């Protein structure tokens, strides 16, 4: 009994760290964010870059809370969209821009791809539970995320290379709520500097009206 060692009990502490992360946007299959006529069109996502900072409270050796502030950038590309068609219902077109205008200005191009660039200001509140106390720490992470719409732009490139700034996605909510779930892996480089790698899954409950 005397030879059993107990885990070190850490005192309460506070940490501040910044992060940057590649981000891949998900989407609902068979439902277009632009128009129901485009539900079967292929959709892809470019890798974007998100960033921010966290303020952390370490309550015990295993459990901590943190609150953050960040910018998440999302990108959705809908392919093979007919140009010579009535305007798409969920795009708020800029003044003077329409599908017929794009058709005439692109030398009667038949198809285009439309890119939606969307960004949110995030305020995440998360709990971390430390699973291991080895040189490399492993943590389970879960929390909620409050989001404010920060940027909403829609652009198009026709199949002959003509580019147009179209407008905005019409029905995006200015505020929404989500959940964050992930794992954290950390390594202490020094007593004051820690390297974190945290793959995260973020789900937004409702983005549009």
Under DSSP, is residue 98 helix (H, G, I), strand (E, B) or coil?
coil
pLDDT of the residue at 126: 97
pLDDT of the residue at 4: 46
With a cut of 70, say whether residue 1 has pLDDT above it: no
DSSP code string of 109-137 = --EEEEEEEEEEEEEEEEEEEE---SSEE
From the list 104, 88, 73, the residue with the least C-alpha distance to 38 is 88
List, for residues 137-195, the tens digit of each pLDDT value: 899 999 999 999 999 999 999 999 999 999 999 989 999 999 999 999 988 888 777 78
pLDDT of the residue at 188: 81
Structure token digits, residue 117: 């660039």
List, for residues 27-85, the tens digit of each pLDDT value: 666 688 899 999 999 999 999 999 999 999 988 889 999 999 999 999 999 999 999 99
């Amino acid at each position: 009994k005397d030879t059993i060692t107990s885990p070190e009990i850490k005192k309460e502490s506070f940490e501040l760290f910044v992060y940057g992360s590649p981000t891949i946007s998900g989407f609902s299959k068979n439902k277009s964010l632009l128009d129901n006529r485009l539900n079967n069109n292929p959709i892809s996502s470019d890798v974007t870059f998100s960033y921010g900072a966290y303020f952390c409270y370490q309550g015990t050796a295993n459990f901590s809370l943190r609150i953050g502030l960040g910018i998440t950038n999302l990108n959705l590309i809908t392919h093979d969209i007919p140009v010579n068609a009535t305007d798409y219902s969920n795009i708020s077109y800029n003044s003077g821009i329409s599908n017929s205008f794009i058709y005439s200005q692109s030398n009667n191009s038949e198809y285009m791809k439309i890119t939606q660039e969307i960004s949110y200001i995030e305020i995440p509140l998360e709990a971390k539970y430390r699973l291991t106390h080895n040189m490399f720490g492993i943590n389970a992470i879960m929390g909620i995320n409050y989001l404010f719409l920060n940027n909403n732009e829609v652009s198009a490139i026709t199949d002959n290379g003509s580019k147009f700034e179209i407008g905005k996605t019409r029905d995006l909510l200015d505020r929404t709520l989500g959940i964050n779930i992930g794992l954290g892996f950390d390594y202490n480089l020094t007593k004051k500097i820690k390297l974190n790698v945290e793959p995260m899954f973020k789900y937004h409950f409702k983005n549009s009206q």
